[in-house]
Amino acid sequence: MASHDSYFLPHKAIWPIVGSIGLTTLLAGFANFLNGAAIGPMMMWLGAAIMITMLVGWFGTVIKESVAGWYSHQVEISFRWGMIWFIISEVFFFAAFFGALYYTRVLAIPWMGDEDSITNEFLWKSFESAWPTNGPGAIGGHFEPMGAWGIPALNTLILLSSGVTVTWAHWGLLANKRSQLIQGLIATVALGFLFVVLQAFEYHEAYTEMGLTLGSGIYGSTFFMLTGFHGLHVTIGAIMLTVVLLRSARGHFSPEHHFAFEAAAWYWHFVDVVWLGLFIFVYWL
């Protein structure tokens, strides 16, 4: 057993190489699928199965070690810094797509429609800049843009509420009230999955009734890529919170030691803030 002021160093790591094999199989399968090779989907399933095994195995090991009390305060600080910088890297992944949205809306499209510019004169003569648009070639055909005040507004309410419930759960954890912790987490996870279900309805409506697809020019591209990657992150965050919920039920956390809870909660607040950016710049303005 590690004493309080020692730093835990694992001796051997078997899961990383499994992760490399799984991720490479998954991506090589996806690449083959995109190129139309028949082997693609099978490789993707295999890769995904290996990845899931890896995640369960790796996190399982870490949970066991955590419960065994091997992680000193200093180890927890390492985990905290690690999670913070991971979330910052995620912020910059979204920044690329927000950057694409701003660049096209603020610069590229007005330039294309500018009668004083040569490109408008010679290439896109009749194009008038506007947003939303699918460009001078009307790529993807006629579509209706997604309004802000239906499902998106409801989803904003849902995500903001889930931010409140997760904080309430945290207060319960700090006060050692396990029922408040568990109820708060159940509410948060439920709201998270409700968000994903409603977003699925929204996508269904877009594709079947509004003519709005991933192929609807730059509007469809930015809309679906931004909201799609966000939805993926909500799903990941909700899975993280589900694991935290199951661990809470088993009594893994104490008011002093609950890094996993905090990491999942930080991640949840991060997807919350990204959503606010989406609601304002993709749906509303």
For the residues of 171-240, what is the DSSP string, one character each? HHHHTT-HHHHHHHHHHHHHHHHHHHHHHHHHHHHHHHTS---TTSHHHHHHHHHHHHHHHHHHHHHHHH
**Per-residue contact string for residues 16-35; x = within reach of other proteins by CB under 8 A:** xx-xxx-xx--xx-xx--xx
Number of chain residues interacting with other proteins (CB under 8 A): 76
d(CA 281, CA 110): 17
Question: Is residue 207 near other proteins by the rule CB under 8 A?
Answer: no
| Closer by beta carbon to other proteins, 64 or else 204 | 64
Q: Is 163 in the site for other proteins (CB under 8 A)?
A: no
- Taking the least distance from each CB to other proteins, the nearer of 40 and 150 is 40
Query: Contact with other proteins (CB under 8 A): which of 55, 58, 183, 186?
Result: 58
d(CA 146, CA 140): 15
Determine the Cα–Cα distance for residues 179 and 84; give it in Å rounded to an integer: 28
Distance in angstroms (rounded) separating the CA atoms of residues 193 and 123: 46
Per CB under 8 A, 196 contacts other proteins: no
51 binds other proteins (CB under 8 A): no
Closest to other proteins by CB, 89 or 179: 89
Say whether residue 97 binds other proteins (CB under 8 A): yes
Interface residue with other proteins, options 158, 218, 260, 282 (CB under 8 A): 218
- The region of 42-50, 72-80, 165-173, 233-241 touching other proteins under the rule CB under 8 A is 72-80
Out of 64, 125, 142, 204, point to the residue binding other proteins (CB under 8 A). Answer: 64
